[in-house]
Amino acid sequence: MKKKFLAGALTAAMMTGMFTPAMVSADDMTTLSLWIPTLATYSDEAVAEVQDKINEYMGEKYGIQVDLEYVEIGNFEQAINLAMTTDEVDVTCYFTGDGQLSTYVSNGQLLDITDYFENASDDLKNTFTDAEITASSMNGRMYGLVRKYQYGGHETAVLNKDICDEMGIDAKSITTMDELEEVLYQVHEKYSDIYTIVPQSMAEMTWAWTAICDKGIGLTNYAYADWGTTELKSLFETQGFADFCKYTNKWYNDGLVMPDALSNTMEGSSMVTAGSAFCTLHNGDVDPLDALYPNTVETSVIAPARAISTDIGNLQYGISANSAHPEEAFTLLGAMYTDPEFATLLAYGIEGEHYVLNDKDRAEYPEGMTAETEPYGGFSATATYADFLILPVKETALYEDAKQTVEDWDAGVEVSPAFGFFYDTSDKADFLTAYSNLEDKYENALMTGSVALDDVLPQIKSELESIGFYDVLAETQTALDEYLANK
pLDDT digits (tens, 9 = 90+) for 97-141: 767 888 899 899 999 999 999 999 999 999 998 889 989 998 889
Beta-bridged to residue 42, according to DSSP, are: 376
Listed as own residue / partner, the contacts of 436-444 with beta carbons closer than 8 Å and 24 or more positions apart are: 436/221, 438/463, 438/464, 438/467, 439/221, 439/222, 439/235, 442/236, 443/235, 444/203, 444/204, 444/205, 444/261, 444/262
Residue 485 CA to residue 19 CA, distance in Å, equals 50
| Secondary structure (3-state) at 36 | strand
Q: What integer pLDDT is reported at residue 7 of this predicted model?
A: 38
User: Would the CA dihedral through 17, 19, 21, 24 be positive or negative?
Assistant: negative
Which of 471, 371, 466, 374 lies closest to 428, judged by CA? 471
pTM of this prediction exceeds 0.75:
no
Position 164 scores a pLDDT of 98
pLDDT value for 15: 43
Q: What pLDDT was estimated at residue 380?
A: 80
Q: Give the H/E segment covering residue 192.
A: none
Asked whether 438 and 406 are in contact (CB, 8 A), the reply is no
pLDDT at 382: 87
Long-range contacts of 180-185 (CB under 8 A, 24+ apart): 180/279, 180/299, 180/302, 181/247, 181/251, 183/159, 183/279, 184/251, 184/256, 184/278, 184/279, 185/254, 185/256
Nearest to 74 by CA among 262, 261, 216, 265: 265
Return left, alpha or beta for 232; rule: phi > 0 is left, psi -120 to 50 is alpha, else beta: beta
- Residue 413 · residue 404 · CB < 8 Å: no
Which residues of the chain are modeled with pLDDT < 50?
1-19, 22
